[in-house]
Copies of this chain bind each other. A is one copy, B any other.
Amino acid sequence: MKRIAILGSTGSIGRSTLQIVEAYPQRFGVVSLAAGKNVDVVFEQAQRWKPALVSVRDEQQAQALRVKLSAAGLGHIEVAHGPEGNVRVATHANADFVVSAIVGVAGLEATFEAVRAGKTVGLANKESLVVAGELITAEAKRQRKPLLPIDSEHNAVHQCMRGGRLEEVERIWLTASGGPFLNTPLSEFSKITVEQALNHPTWKMGQRITVDSATLMNKGFEVIEACRLFGLPPSQVKVIVHPQSTIHSMVEFRDGSLLAQLSVTDMRLPILYALTYPDRIESDLRFPVEELRRLDFCAPDMERFPCLRLAYEAAEAGGSKTIALNAADEVAVAAFLEGRISFQEIPRVIAAVVRETAGQHPESIRNVLLVDTEAREAACDKIKTLSRSQSSSPRSARVS
């Protein structure tokens, strides 16, 4: 039986992981759960899975959860909270496998500590690799433990990589759905509204990642993740637009063969793969091959999607530049969603912040977080400047 710790148990990946545990009761058990402020849901999860340890966001929620657990005769379940609670969940002595699915830099420290404690980690937390990928992959190497990607693209790459050795890889091809503006002419980009940007054609996701998909910054982050996960330079990680998202990614080998991974778009599939690797077990997540009809592809347009270019540049520099890229993007997307900057200003804010961030390679998670904070402040400043110049001379984008 594989005993699992879940960082982010009430989120989408956390809940999918628990569905898998439910489907294979002989194979998987739950050791510890870290959630946010959703006490009701985490209480239900604790009741159902009887973990040894649960962590929530703060002391107040921890107390509320303790009361509920006691009333349910589950007073023996330990309750922790905050960043320290997350770390305790991630490093629990009985955990064999840690699912890292807390969104944002909040999941960073716990993920790093899980790796440092010699756990096998399934990574759904994007920031772990974008922001601290160099530290985390170096630590995983030291521990001789695999980092198993839990997202459709990198999981696909991981599967295709089995067809050869790393040094036989010519290029990785990440597929991109292309987002809602795949076919929008550049001349109309200045008029893109928040509603349009949030209208993703194939995936229902959180607001930030939906906008990141519309700017292709999300694909840019995935390029950085791929570089870190597989130890390849950005020049060997390519993006190809594939609107159906049936091929989740491809690996091109130096002999000229490509391997591609196809499956349904269901996150349980990469989670199951990570949990059972190197085995594959029976699932009902079947792709209807008989119904396969048409797959389309095109090259990404770097002119219309400058965020992708910015991500490549940051990936080349590494270290603080990728931290700044992520921080500035988060702040710029929030400002766009609040109507404070236009869609086209998102890459401008990011470019300015990344440019101004001094190139360095932080050697601890603490230093990573310092660079992150500085970049967020720089992005806020940049946005204020833009907003001021905007209020004095309104742009056509706002007027129309």
Residues of A within 8 A of B (CB): 159-160, 162-165, 168, 171, 173, 238, 240, 247, 250, 252-264, 269, 272-273, 276, 279-287, 289-290, 292-299
A261–B262 CB distance below 8 A: no
Among the listed B159, B282, B293, which residue makes an inter-chain contact with A296, where contact means beta carbons less than 8 Å apart? Answer: B293
Known: A255-B269, A257-B273, A262-B258. A290 touches B282 (CB 8 A): no
Tell me, in angstroms, the Cα distance from A250 to B260 when the chains sit together.
Answer: 9
Q: Which residue of B lies closest to A285 (CB)?
A: B256
**Are B292 and A240 interface neighbours, CB within 8 A?**
yes
| Partner of A255 from B253, B262, B281, B292 at Cβ < 8 Å | B281
Question: Closest 10 A-B residue pairs measured CB to CB?
Answer: A256-B285, A168-B280, A258-B262, A255-B280, A292-B297, A295-B295, A260-B260, A254-B282, A162-B163, A255-B283
In the complex, how many angstroms separate the beta carbon of A187 from the nearest chain B beta carbon?
Answer: 24
CB pair B263–A261 under 8 Å, yes or no, is: no
A128 to chain B, nearest CB (A): 23
Q: Is the CB of A294 within 8 A of B295?
A: yes
CB-CB nearest in chain B for A262 = B258
Interchain CA distance A171-B255 in the complex, whole Å: 26
Contact in complex: A252, B287 (CB < 8 Å): yes
A230 to chain B, nearest CB (A): 16
- Determine whether the beta carbon of A259 is less than 8 Å from that of B256: no
- A173: chain B residues at CB < 8 Å are 289
Q: Is the CB of B259 within 8 A of A280?
A: no
**Closest-CB distance, A389 to chain B (whole angstroms):** 39
Residue of B nearest to A296 (CB): B294
Q: Which chain B residues lie closer than 8 Å to A294 at the CB level?
A: 294-297
**Which residue of chain B has the shortest Cβ distance to A169 in the bound complex?**
B280
A-B contact pairs, 21 of them (CB 8 A): A159-B259, A160-B163, A162-B163, A165-B280, A168-B279, A171-B289, A238-B289, A240-B290, A250-B289, A253-B280, A256-B264, A256-B269, A256-B285, A257-B261, A257-B263, A257-B269, A259-B262, A260-B261, A290-B299, A294-B295, A295-B295
